[in-house]
Amino acid sequence: MAPSDESLTDIQREVLKYVQDHLTQTHRPPTVREVMRHFKWNSPQSARKHLLALEEKGYLEREEHTARGLRLAEDSSVGVSIPVLGRVAAGLPLLAEENREGTMVVDPSLARGGRNLFALTVRGDSMVNAHILPGDKVIVQQTTHASPGEIVVALVEGEATVKTFRKTSSKVVLEPANPKYSPIVVGEGQDFRIIGKVVGVFSPR
């Protein structure tokens, strides 16, 4: 459901901002009791009332039967929740529950055009000269195709790597942005596939 034109009350805006900030900082939604404690309300019913109002106005959605089932609506103007993957493994569906560490909120403009997005935590320093540092989260558009020069997430023999994609008539090269590392040249017969291209970077610093 798209957010309605009905304006939010001041407290509803504060609750919505708290949910968004909690998702951004912890990559998981708050519980009803965490909302209650944050606003120093005496009863969880007060938190439920405001959260329900935000659901009815189309700003929040809820998964049933889980304490942390809140998420920002996909078409909410304040942000879009996307999954954060701790790893990307061969043989598993990309967004399988085994891969997920949580969620994070990104600007809705990144999801325009029906982009299917996920975030991946960067583990190494091979892309530092592209301003992608260890601990950063790259925002990735799922795709199996990329143009030369684009930064991609690729699987090489089942291992995920973030590199600049280069291609010649005879080979694929995954190029780091750190002189300490050599390019990865994908040999004939190697298990290789592109799973997405980087469309944004989130730094926790």
Quote the mean pLDDT of the chain.
83
Per-residue pLDDT band for 5 (boundaries 50, 70, 90) equals very low
Order the strands of the 137-142 sheet from edge to edge: 100-106, 80-85, 117-121, 137-142, 192-202, 151-156, 159-167, 172-175, 184-186
Beta bridge partners of 173: 166, 185
Q: Average the pLDDT over each of 19-23, 95-99, 181-185 and give the range with the smallest value.
A: 95-99
**Could you tell me what percent of the chain has a pLDDT over 90?**
38
The answer to whether 163 is a known catalytic residue is: yes
Q: Which two tokens stand for residue 48?
A: 């439920």
The answer to whether 40 is a known catalytic residue is: no
Instruction: Express each pLDDT in 27-82 by its tens digit.
Output: 678 889 999 999 999 999 999 999 999 888 888 888 776 667 777 775 555 567 78
Q: What domains sit in the chain, N to C, each tagged with a CATH number?
A: 10-78 (1.10.10.10), 82-202 (2.10.109.10)
Q: Average the pLDDT over each of 44-48, 88-92, 121-125 and give the range with the smallest value.
A: 88-92
CA distances from 185 to 26, 127, 162, 171 (A): 37, 16, 14, 7
Q: Which of 57, 137, 163, 197 is catalytic?
A: 163
Q: Please give the average per-residue pLDDT across 85-91, as a whole number.
A: 69
Q: Which of 76, 126, 137, 197 is catalytic?
A: 126
* Other C-beta atoms lying within 10 Å of the C-beta of residue 40: 7
pLDDT at 34: 93
Angle of helix 10-26 versus helix 44-56 axis, rounded to 10? 90
* pTM for this predicted structure: 0.64
